Structure 1
Amino acid sequence: MTEPITTTTATVAGWPAGPRGAPRRLLRAVLADPGYGPLPGLLLILTAITGVVDAVSILALGRVFVANMTGNVVFAGFAAVGAPGFSLSASLFALAGFLVGAAAGGTLATRAGHDRGVLLRAGAAAELAFAGIALILAASSGARGVSHGTLGMTGGAFGPAVTDAVAALLAVAMGIQNAVARRLAVPDMTTTVLTMTLTGLSADFRGVIRGTGAIRAAARVDLGRRLQVVATMLAGAVLSAWLVLNVSVVSALSLATALLAVVATGAALAASRPGAPGTWRAAPAKR
């Protein structure tokens, strides 16, 4: 007589419990979850882009965040009291740009939020447009940041006007990304903020060590997803920082724009396929 097949959280997540091939199953559980379709993979690329653009903004645009507004508000406070190396104007332009981008992303979520494929396509296209404009503006400025790394460079990579404009444009793109990712509601993939992701790691480790059966398997999936998110943003920041310091600021901006083009293309291809009711494209509950 055939033994009945039991379904656990682990098998629902896409991989059976057990040590053999665990890293590959973890990757598949995150990137091939039928409940989210291609969204996790595309959002991981957007997470890498966050690392790329924040490395550009901090190392070449007057120590300003364009994706992390908590840090940017703090940096604005430093600049306001005259701390050396911080640009108050760039921080304020970035803050204003992020708010504009978040509002635009919210509008996209209202209009296209019924279909996550269409929403990501629209958001990635809009983000690509603003990042492309920032790249063109920086590349055509004739400043040292066009062809030289900032390592050992005295003064800014660009003039004040270009610095503020590029910071604002990148912040608009990041505001759109943040609002769209929030509406897509893929667990732990906000693409711009890691605070809660890092907070959840302690619970994941505890579940992997102390849990049993389905609890341990689910904890492995959560742990794998969060570690991938952290590693992806770190990789984007490391690569971008190396480019900014040793090659040029424009090369790092080109990397961000190229990655956005990949996301926009992937989202367009995903949205072009019919989505059946109940699939990953169905709108999540509003948050």
Structure 2
Amino acid sequence: MQTAFQTTLGEVRGTLVPDLSGPHGPLPPLLLGLTLVTGLVDAFSYLVLGHVFVANMTGNVVFMAFSLAGAGGFSVLASVLSLVSFMAGAAGGGLLANRVTAHRGRLLLSAAAGQTVLVLAAWVLGRLVHLPAGHGARWALIVLLGLPMGVQNAVVRRLAVPDLTTTVLTLTITGVAADSRLAGGPSSKVGRRLLSALAMFLGALAGAALIGHGHRDLPLLIGAALLAAVAAGLLPHRRSTLAWTG
């Protein structure tokens, strides 16, 4: 009988090096890459654009409440702009998902390619202005980053790979505890869930460290490179007819 550690290790290995004939093919490691991007981009938005998230909409709703209550350091306009941009991106991602219904690989490829362009545009703008940006550039950066994060969420939602939402960790972390053997559960998927949380942590850690050392725009460039890598990783599979694509 396998120990809990062996089971978890097997889940980690299966997520990082998946069976291409399995139900999700190459998607799990690619979605971990998108989770890293989320950490990088949210580190940039919170630390450089001033207490606003472009991927974590729960945070923005709370920040709006803080601002309306008179707490300092928060902006209703920034949070609303991020929410609206995210929702516009999610609508675009939903439109894409409803048009590219026959192939999950091509769907994620199209989304990642579009995200790459938008995040790269944000990086270029960040290079052109003095960060932290003034109001006009700040609003533009929020829009340029909120849109691709909305697209990502809509497309990942349609892909429906368990425990790899790429932006929301609350349910993932809840699952680790609620399904644990301590709670009388099967302790299933803990390896994948921990990888998802670790990817977000590492992305945010890298972003914050780079910003703290004066490289304020670099998290965006790295994020764009990761998105381009996700798109490139899907190119060999765009004509695949394996079961995971449907």
Counterpart in 1 of 2:180? 205
| Residues 116 and 280 in structure 1, CA contact (< 8 A), matched pair in contact too | yes
Distance 2:236 2:137 in 1: 35
Counterpart in 1 of 2:63? 75
Q: Deviations over 1:209-256 (max 9, x none)?
A: 857xxxx5xx34x11011110111011001101111113211111111
Structure 1 position 92, deviation (Å):
1.8
| Residues 8 and 190 in structure 2, CA contact (< 8 A), matched pair in contact too | no
Q: Deviations over 1:32-51 (max 9, x none)?
A: 14111110000001011111
Match of 2:100 among 108, 112, 136: 112
Structure 1 position 18, deviation (Å):
4.7
| Residues 52 and 240 in structure 1, CA contact (< 8 A), matched pair in contact too | yes
| Residues 113 and 183 in structure 1, CA contact (< 8 A), matched pair in contact too | no
Structure 1 position 128, deviation (Å):
1.0
Q: Does 1:281 align with 2:245?
A: yes
Q: Higher mean Cα deviation, 104-113 or 244-253?
A: 244-253
Distance 1:22 1:224 in 2: 8
Alignment identity in percent?
44
| Residues 66 and 98 in structure 1, CA contact (< 8 A), matched pair in contact too | yes
Counterpart in 2 of 1:269? 236
After TM superposition, the structure 1 = structure 2 runs for residues 182-193 of structure 1, keeping only pairs within 5 Å, are 182-193=157-168
| Residues 90 and 168 in structure 1, CA contact (< 8 A), matched pair in contact too | no
Aligned length: 243
Counterpart in 2 of 1:159? 134
Q: Please, what is the CA RMSD of the aligned residues?
A: 2.0
Q: Deviations over 1:46-91 (max 9, x none)?
A: 0111111111111111100100111112112222344221122221
Query: Counterpart of 1:67 in 2: which secondary structure?
Result: coil
Distance 2:171 2:87 in 1: 22
Match of 1:246 among 208, 213, 216: 213
After TM superposition, the structure 1 = structure 2 runs for residues 91-240 of structure 1, keeping only pairs within 5 Å, are 91-141=79-129, 143=130, 145=131, 157-206=132-181, 219-220=187-188, 222-240=189-207
| Residues 52 and 252 in structure 1, CA contact (< 8 A), matched pair in contact too | yes
* Larger CA Rg, structure 1 vs 2: 1
Q: Which runs of 5+ in 1 are unaligned?
A: 1-15, 146-156, 283-287
